[in-house]
Amino acid sequence: MDRWGYSIRQAPHVLDEADVTQRLWIAHNRILIPHVEEERAVFERLVMEKASTAALEGLIRRDDDVIEIGSLAWLVDTGRVRIGRERRVRLQAFRDLRNDLAHRRPVSDRLLRHVTAYLGF
């Protein structure tokens, strides 16, 4: 037995693949989701500065008026808002990261390297 995540859990060498995958997702989620929110907030400000009223028409927002990172990426991907290629690629990476975490999937090595390079890890 091992103590991790404030509870007693089995040691990794006795786990099956599904348990290992779940633990990996938990670790990724705990470490990376705050960075997704920071990036989302930065991109929300940038997009709102550049977006016309027409570009924002029909955009779904949360009850607290926050624009989700997926919606921000949609505005950019559809050409409603232009932020430049480098920023667009970064936004897409953090959108993909958020989607993996939201669907309880561990982040791929490729995406993890991409995102950590942006974060300076």
The two tokens of residue 55 are: 């570009």
Which structural domain range is residue 48 located in?
A: 18-119
- The model's pTM is 0.84
Domain contains 2: no
Domain contains 47: yes
Give 49-69 as a 3 state SS string: HHCCHHHHCCCCCCCCCCCCH
Question: What does residue 28 show for φ and ψ, rounded to 5 degrees?
Answer: -60, -45
pLDDT in tens, 43-87: 999 999 999 999 998 888 888 989 999 999 999 999 999 999 999
Domain contains 97: yes
Number of domains in the chain: 1
Distance CA 8, CA 1 (A): 7
pLDDT in tens, 78-116: 999 999 999 999 999 999 999 999 999 999 999 999 999
